Structure 1
Amino acid sequence: MTSTRRRGLIDIEIDAQKEKVRKIKEDNRIFDTLETDKTTLDNEKKKWFFTRWFSPTSIDDLEKRIARKEQKIKEGLERTSIDKIHELEERIRILELAKTNRCENVVWMDVPEILDKKIQDDYLEKFRKLPQKIDEQVQSVNITMFGGVGVGKSSFLNTVVTALINNPQRIYRDYKTAPSTTGISKTKAFIPEEIRKKRGQSYREHPTFKDVMHCIVFVIPATTNLYDRDDEALNKIRNLQQRINGPRDVKQVAIVTNIDRIGVPNVDMESVFKYPNVKEFCEDVSKVLEIEIQSVYPIANYHEEQKPTAAKNALALMALWDMFKCGERHIKKKLEIGLNDDQ
């Protein structure tokens, strides 16, 4: 019976890398055999000259073969180093290992099996259909990101902008220069201690409900030791949670960055939800921060890529949509029961 299993991007990439290695080795053999052919030609010419026993036909064949190889080299054929070949073979090994580590039976709630263009476009359509404002009193959702230095906060914003603009040829590296049509306002991540010290124009010591945070996002790299009691960033997150839990009841979401560093290759990001280690880490984040697993999102930010991918865009859009809906529910709930001084 012929298999109908969908060939994913990782399968295509593995085949492409194998073909690349095959072609490189084939080209290298031209260099490896050229000198041998020349030596053989010299020997055959000597035999034919002294004995007249050897047919000149074989000499003609050798001369033609040598000429073809020399012409390819003249046209720009280059030898590839053994180190480069080993590097490519190691990449193939890593991709095949990642494919082996995937599990079709990993179960998440309400997540797509494959993060393809359809998923990306579905979420883009959701954002396009949003009203201009949530309510006359509170027109927009304020989302605050919190995390240590270098964990991927700015990179996530760049990824979100890239996904929302959806230009297939461009990745936005600085969200502050993105077109205003994205509907994104600058989201600032800060440390709680700095909030109390800040007295700039944007700071309000007694803000109204429309100016407070409606959803807080914790940014945690997948390489974090979640059970390290001395981790400064985690301790600050816990301290912040103690301050926002209770009457304020601000919705909390977590995004897990750097998932490519725990075994998910960029080329297979469409299948990220099939990796058990990603699911396990997100579950640990859920337990440590005491937030539901449905609000913990693996994220793959753009770094060295030249063009966006549907998978990375979809991951960012899924997380952003949950942040928005959580903030929106929080706003509507508070408006229904009436605002008070705790807000």
Structure 2
Amino acid sequence: MKKIYDIDANLPKAVKYMNLLLIGVAGSGKSSFVNSCATALLDDGRLVQASLAMKAGMASATRMLKLAPLRRKGGDVIPIRLFDTRGILKEGTEVVGKEEMNYIIDGYVKPNAKMTSLSDMKAEKKSQRETPKIGDEMHCVVYVVRADKSMDDKDPCLGEIAGIRETVAQRNLPQCVLITAIDKILPNADDVGDMFRYSIVQKLCKFVSNSLKLSPGNIFPTANYVIEGVPDAVKDGISLCTLWKIVSLGIDYLNQMEGIGDNIPDDFFD
């Protein structure tokens, strides 16, 4: 937890906040992950509802580029911004397409702006930035899928994510996958703290890695708070560990950028 609390020391001077974008199907666990991280970080003995979460299969509860602050124990805001996007639906009726996602990734859309078509978002001037800077852009893209939903090579949701992944890859932006509800597929949900000893988890991570052409090291299985009444030390630990792995990808990305990373000699990229 201390590493996340002290993230300020790892950010380049040109960047005030670490921006992380969550992308996935409605009900995949994006909002629940935000809530789980908020609960673990605040650490005050209660479950935090920072973002409205819905059941899998329901219409997306997120209609905006949702942003809620993550707070340290005591209440101070941590400079990590987890952006919760409108869900990608299997029916294809409310899909946030690649063009809209690129516009968001590039930093043009302000927090809590309504997520609509690209033309409509551009027309909403108050919710847009004319010339976004590196601190406005996304520093890591996180795709969210559920472990307890059947996935195969023909899954349209994975297809949507794969299309966005290809576009994001062209800009060398770090990408990873969050596999939520991992406790739902274990023979004993209480073993979630030791999930990697189960072959079903290993096989699922390998399948997602191969399907989306991402490194196995960038696939993070996790278990969010859903029906629990009080925080649990194991789930808190999983949430914090997962968040730190994602944040670390963003830190490495920023610190390697020409003109952004600190302590890089002026002639290093000559």
Superposed pair shares fold, TM > 0.5: yes
Partner of 1:155: 32
TM-fit CA distance, 1:327: 0.7
TM-fit CA distance, 1:240: 0.6
Taking only aligned residues, the RMSD between alpha carbons, in angstroms, comes to 2.4
TM-fit CA distance, 1:293: 1.2
Task: Establish whether residue 142 from structure 1 lines up as the match of residue 64 from structure 2.
Answer: no
Query: Which deviates the most, 305-314 or 130-139?
Result: 130-139
Partner of 2:62: none
Unaligned runs of 5+ in 2: 52-67, 87-95, 101-115, 262-270
TM-fit CA distance, 1:298: 1.0
TM-score, normalisation: structure 2? 0.71
Is the Cα–Cα contact under 8 Å of residues 140 and 250 in structure 2 kept in the other structure?
Answer: yes
Task: Establish whether residue 236 from structure 1 lines up as the match of residue 133 from structure 2.
Answer: no
Task: Establish whether residue 215 from structure 1 lines up as the match of residue 140 from structure 2.
Answer: yes
TM-fit CA distance, 1:149: 0.5
Partner of 2:206: 283
Whole-Å separation in 1 of the counterparts to 2:187 and 2:142:
23
Whole-Å separation in 2 of the counterparts to 1:254 and 1:295:
6
Larger Rg: 1
* CA distance 1:332–1:189, shift in 2 (3 Å): same
TM-fit CA distance, 1:146: 0.3
Is the Cα–Cα contact under 8 Å of residues 223 and 238 in structure 2 kept in the other structure?
Answer: yes
TM-fit CA distance, 1:139: 2.2
Partner of 2:41: 164
Tell me the SS of whatever aligns to 1:136. Answer: coil
Give 2:257's aligned amino acid. Answer: K
Whole-Å separation in 1 of the counterparts to 2:181 and 2:260:
40
More helix by share: 1
* CA distance 1:240–1:205, shift in 2 (3 Å): farther
Partner of 1:174: 50
Tell me the SS of whatever aligns to 2:217. Answer: helix
Match of 2:227 among 288, 298, 304: 304
TM-fit CA distance, 1:296: 0.9
Within-5 A mapping of 1:1-343: 124-131=1-8, 134-167=11-44, 169-175=45-51, 176=68, 181-183=76-78, 184-185=80-81, 187-190=83-86, 191-192=96-97, 193=100, 194=116, 196-197=118-119, 198-199=121-122, 200=124, 201-204=126-129, 206-229=131-154, 231-246=155-170, 248-336=171-259
Whole-Å separation in 1 of the counterparts to 2:147 and 2:129:
34
Unaligned runs of 5+ in 1: 1-123, 339-343
* CA distance 1:328–1:264, shift in 2 (3 Å): farther
* CA distance 1:217–1:205, shift in 2 (3 Å): farther
Query: Which deviates the most, 191-200 or 306-315?
Result: 191-200
Whole-Å separation in 1 of the counterparts to 2:138 and 2:69:
24
Whole-Å separation in 2 of the counterparts to 1:272 and 1:295:
16
TM-fit CA distance, 1:261: 2.3
Kindly tell me the number of residue pairs found equivalent between the two proteins. Answer: 212
Give 2:167's aligned amino acid. Answer: R
Whole-Å separation in 2 of the counterparts to 1:205 and 1:323:
28
Give 2:2's aligned amino acid. Answer: E
Whole-Å separation in 1 of the counterparts to 2:85 and 2:220:
18
More strand by share: 2
TM-fit CA distance, 1:131: 2.4
Give 1:207's aligned amino acid. Answer: P
* CA distance 1:145–1:139, shift in 2 (3 Å): same
TM-fit CA distance, 1:135: 2.1
Is the Cα–Cα contact under 8 Å of residues 172 and 178 in structure 1 kept in the other structure?
Answer: no
CA-to-partner distance for each residue in 1:112-157, whole Å, 9 max, x for gaps?
Answer: xxxxxxxxxxxx1222333267122222221000001111100000
Tell me the SS of whatever aligns to 2:129. Answer: coil
TM-fit CA distance, 1:323: 1.2
TM-fit CA distance, 1:318: 1.3
TM-fit CA distance, 1:250: 0.6
Whole-Å separation in 2 of the counterparts to 1:217 and 1:262:
21
